Structures are given as C-alpha cells and as structure tokens.
C-alpha cells in the first residue's frame, strides 16, 4: 500500500521558496497566504504549514519543526508600514488581510514602542486604496518587497516607509521570527522534520537559481538574491528563539493570542513545541 503523501500549506512569497525546495517530489503543496496557512493547519486540512509565528500562541498544541523558519535581524524589507502622515499622527491603519504575525507585531510596536493607539481595519493588500481611506497601511510579502520599485509609490513624495523588522530589532535588540513550520504533534514526525530541514538546506544551496527564477526583470535578480541571502534567516538559533519568546510574551500581555497568554517553549530535537 502506498504511503499517504504529507499535505503542506505553503506561502507563495519569494521568502518561502528556499524552505520548500524539492518538496513537491514527496509532498502535496497547497499554496496560500500566511493567514490561510494557519487555517489549513488548524482545521487539519494540512499536516503542517509555514504558519505565522503568532499561531504558536493561538494554539499551544502545535509542534514546531526545530531550527527552520523565516526570520530577520534588522530590516526585513518585506514587512512594512507605509504612512502618509508622521508616525506620531497615525490614527487609522489598514492591515493587509493576508497577515497575522505582522499585524500583531504592528499592534505591539504601536502600543509599547511608539506610544500611539490607532484604529485598525483589515483590507486587501492594495496600498493606494488602503491609504485613500487610512493614515497608514501594513503590507507584507511580495507586495511590500516590490513597493520601492512601484512607479505609483515613487510618484508620491508624501509617503514614508517604516520597516517593522528594523523597528523590532532597534526596540528589543532581538531578531524577529515571522513564520515557522508547525503542525499537530502526531503529524510532526521525525521523518517529516528531517525532510523539511533537508529542503531548507537544498534551498540555501540554490539561492541564485531561486532569485533568478523569481525575477520579473533582469534587474530584479540581484535584489532577490541579496534579500534571500543577506536579509532573511532560515536557520533559527537561540537568538531567534529568544525573539520569538519575547514576541509571544508581549502579544499575550496585549490580549492578542487566541489561546491566552502562555510561555513559549523552544522546540526540542524531536520537533515538539
């Protein structure tokens, strides 16, 4: 009898591609935005997924694949707040409907780092429409990464960008973990842990090819490679785990966790959370 292929919920953004290199040969990949990846894992439709980090606080029963994720220390380039007024005067923010971890990060920074209390509204990731109705807009993933090359943005002298990865590191001194591989404990087996860690290693060895394949124009290739090689971290060590624990602690204090406040336990070698 043929073994069932694992079903993996994966984000289709550029920064996720190094984590899924070669997995289509042995797994069924279901592309989705980050918030939807969480839904697929939570409902059991997917065995594991690249889920927003906040999901670890929402569901204490999730198990994490050790040492694999998407993180940055300093500017991340693909999670940004676009503002049309000075930050201190921001009163309303449109949140990219695709986002969960970054939306919570923004709420934390507003409340604790910047001392502002805007109202938040969920919207599709269309920044001109978002800014037509609100003072600022949160963008994540490829739309955020492409923003500085968008002629519409370049024509707007009134807009400024706040990189949330940079803001977090400047405030806490720690990296920020945006996403991890996770699933129900009985589905995070030693075999799938080894497979996902091996996929990451393949991806890190293939960054030039991934950057080239994702380039819409020749000039994009070097930008993509620099981003994947120098900006994003795919190996999560002690500092990344400390940043993740601090984030979940703050999210719990502000009532942003569906599962209530809890301490984050760093995953062990067997993949438990």
Per-residue model confidence (pLDDT) at position 271: 33
- Tell whether 212 is covered by a domain: yes
Residue 29, domain CATH: 3.40.190.10
Per-residue model confidence (pLDDT) at position 258: 78
Q: Are 231 and 75 contacting, i.e. CB atoms less than 8 angstroms apart? A: yes
- Report d(CA 102, CA 79) in Å as an integer: 7
How many independent structural domains does the chain possess? 2
Q: Domain residues for 134? A: 79-172
- Tell whether 265 is covered by a domain: no
Q: Is 268 exposed, middle or buried, given 0-12, 13-18 or 19+ CB atoms closer than 10 A?
A: exposed
Same domain, 83 and 101: yes
- Report d(CA 149, CA 131) in Å as an integer: 18
- Tell whether 260 is covered by a domain: no
What's the average model confidence in pLDDT over 6-28? 94
Nearest residue to 79 (alpha-carbon basis) of 52, 55, 57: 52
Sign of CA dihedral 65, 240, 258, 94: negative
Same domain, 60 and 181: yes
- Tell whether 271 is covered by a domain: no
- Report d(CA 167, CA 85) in Å as an integer: 18
Q: Are 66 and 188 contacting, i.e. CB atoms less than 8 angstroms apart? A: no
Residue 1, pLDDT > 60, answer no
What's the average model confidence in pLDDT over 17-41? 93
- Tell whether 153 is covered by a domain: yes
Same domain, 212 and 229: yes
Same domain, 106 and 166: yes
Q: Are 44 and 106 contacting, i.e. CB atoms less than 8 angstroms apart? A: no
pTM, full prediction: 0.91
- Tell whether 268 is covered by a domain: no
What's the average model confidence in pLDDT over 145-169? 94
pLDDT tens column, 176-193: 999 999 999 999 999 999
Same domain, 34 and 58: yes
**Length of the chain as a residue count:** 273
Same domain, 180 and 47: yes
Q: What is the DSSP string of 140-177?
A: EHHHHHTGGG-HHHHT-TT-EEEEHHHHHHHHHSS-EE
Same domain, 98 and 152: yes
What's the average model confidence in pLDDT over 22-29? 94
Most confident region among 13-17, 32-36, 56-60 by mean pLDDT: 13-17
- Tell whether 266 is covered by a domain: no
Same domain, 165 and 184: no
pLDDT tens column, 3-14: 789 999 999 899
- Tell whether 204 is covered by a domain: yes
The half-sphere exposure of 137 on its side-chain side, counting CA atoms within 13 A, is 24
Q: Are 150 and 144 contacting, i.e. CB atoms less than 8 angstroms apart? A: no
Per-residue model confidence (pLDDT) at position 219: 84
Same domain, 242 and 227: yes
- Report d(CA 161, CA 88) in Å as an integer: 14
Same domain, 19 and 59: yes
């Amino acid at each position: 009898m043929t073994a069932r292929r694992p079903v993996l919920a994966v984000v289709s953004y550029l920064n996720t591609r190094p984590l899924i290199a070669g997995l289509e040969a042995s797994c069924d990949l279901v592309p989705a935005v980050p918030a939807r990846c969480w839904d697929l894992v939570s409902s059991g439709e997917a065995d594991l997924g690249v889920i927003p980090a906040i999901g670890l606080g929402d569901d204490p029963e999730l198990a994490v694949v050790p040492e694999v994720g998407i993180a940055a220390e300093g500017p991340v380039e693909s999670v940004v707040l676009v503002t049309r007024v000075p930050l201190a005067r921001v009163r309303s923010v449109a949140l990219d409907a695709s986002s969960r971890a970054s939306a919570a990060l923004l709420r934390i920074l507003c409340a604790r780092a910047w001392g502002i209390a805007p109202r938040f509204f969920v919207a599709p990731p269309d920044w001109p429409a978002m800014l037509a109705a609100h003072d600022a807009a949160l963008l994540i993933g490829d739309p955020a990464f492409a923003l500085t090359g968008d002629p519409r943005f370049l024509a707007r002298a009134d807009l400024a960008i706040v990189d949330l990865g940079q803001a977090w590191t400047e405030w806490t001194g720690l990296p920020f973990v945006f996403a991890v591989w996770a699933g129900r404990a009985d589905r995070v087996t030693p075999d799938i842990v080894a497979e996902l860690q091996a996929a990451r290693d393949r991806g890190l060895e293939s960054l030039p090819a991934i950057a080239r394949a994702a380039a819409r124009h020749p000039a994009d290739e070097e930008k993509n490679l620099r981003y994947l090689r120098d900006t994003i971290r795919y190996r999560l060590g002690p500092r990344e785990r400390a940043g993740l624990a601090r984030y979940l602690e703050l999210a719990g204090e502000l009532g942003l966790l569906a599962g209530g406040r809890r301490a984050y336990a760093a995953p062990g070698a067997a993949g438990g959370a």
